[in-house]
Amino acid sequence: MSPRALQRLLLPVFLLFALVWTLAHLRPAHDPLAAADELASEASAPASPLLRIEADDPLPLSENPPFTELAVLLHRRFNRSHVRLDEGLLTFRDAAALQRFLARARAAGVEVLDRIDALHTARVRVTDYTAFARELTASTGDYTAVAANAILPPPTPPAEARSARVSLPVGENLLATLGIRAADPAWGRGVTIAVLDGGVFNDAAFDSRLRQLDIGYGLIGGGTDGAHATSVAALAAGAASDARGVAPAASLLSIRVTSADGAGDVFSVARGIYAAVDAGAQIINVSLGGYATSSVLADAVNYALSANVAVVAASGNDQAAQLVWPAAYPGVVSVGATDALGKQALFSNSGASLQLTAPGCAITTVGAGGARVSFSGTSASAPVVSGSIAALLSSNRGLNALQAADLLAAYSTDSGPAGPDPDYGRGTVNLERALRQSAPAQKP
């Protein structure tokens, strides 16, 4: 073969080699997924039982998997559509174990973003999955749980027409739908409702009763974050004559738990719950939720319940047969939505753990910039219940918030089949009846 013919034969091979080499070296120098991608190709053995664990269960570190398989699993868990990408929630056995981890975090391939010391929990961003897997394999005894940071967004605004049945709007008749004949402007006095949301705008409807607490996310989010939070707060405790909330004398504590995308997550809501309890709130309203969670949020809810603080949460607007978290937790006052006639709203989620329903269809309330808006969803129903609990607490100082919530459910209207049911829970709020039953006995 002539040299020219050999050159023509080898040239395509050389060009192909050059192209492959170039593409291989275009990967970013610090790509956190690189090692896990390589490990995935190396893991030729049959899949470990670890890889068949439900997606949002904590990683079972006690099974001590090979770090190669663990790196692949971490990569998959921390890079799904419903979680904060590359973020993990690491819970440790005790404070000493957390401190040991913090000292070696950089070598462990993670960046520590935040932590909740009371839970011995750190929120981290993984920068090197190989190093992180080695850390977990080598220090298994320090950990009690490793989970992704699931996103908890505000419930999706309900669709306007999902069946032939039309829901009757509540409009400006919120109190009437709760059975109230004569409202008391003192309802809620001495009670603090924490609103964990996108940050409440200061509005004349709140006069001097609004306090804002920054736990690391700023005071008010961009876009519609503040508008959503303001509508929620006003339904609980607004005092405007044309957009009155249920407990117009209650104090409000606004805690922003949303990021730039307008959604909260398991860690931010858990941190917000801790902050609200420590700041003296008796009621915590969470008009956020998602279909994944972790032990970090469960522990925060239990912290609130152990302090007799009521956690009230929206059930979700997906017409689903399950509740979103944190509404799905036992002990949380989970709230579905009804219209002005007390009929279940078409969008409202159902489930065996549903506690109550309350008005949530086109209620007139406060929006951004002092506007009056029509607000729908279980995001609206939850603060109606929060305000009702505050009204009961201010009317009977002998109650704590958990007792008031139970009283509200006990004297609700049994709207569905007899007894608790998945669509209405224990019933639809009838605040007038609950107030009559909770009134302190008069001395002779």
Evaluate whether 359 touches 424 at the Cβ level (below 8 Å): no
CA–CA separation, 70 and 339 (whole Å): 49
Q: Which of 86, 197, 203, 339 is catalytic?
A: 197
Catalytic residue at 228? yes
Query: Which value, in Å, is the radius of gyration of the alpha carbons in the chain?
Result: 26
Q: What is the DSSP string of 36-66?
A: HHHHHHH--SPPPGGGGS-TTSPP-GGG---
Within 10 A of 302 (CB to CB), how many other CB atoms are there? Answer: 16
Burial status of residue 198 (CB atoms within 10 A of its CB: 0-12, 13-18, 19 or more):
buried
Grouping H, G, I as helix, E, B as strand and the rest as coil, residue 174 is helix
Tokens 């969670």 belong to 293
Q: Which of 379, 388, 395, 415 is catalytic?
A: 379
Structure token digits, residue 365: 């309330």
CA–CA separation, 142 and 138 (whole Å): 10
Within 10 A of 2 (CB to CB), how many other CB atoms are there? Answer: 7
Residue 31 — φ and ψ, nearest 5°? -70, 115
CA–CA separation, 283 and 270 (whole Å): 15
Q: Which of 75, 120, 225, 228 is catalytic?
A: 228
Evaluate whether 161 touches 233 at the Cβ level (below 8 Å): no
Question: Within 13 Å and on the Cβ side, how many CA atoms surround 360?
Answer: 34
Burial status of residue 221 (CB atoms within 10 A of its CB: 0-12, 13-18, 19 or more):
buried
- The catalytic site residues sit at 197, 228, 379
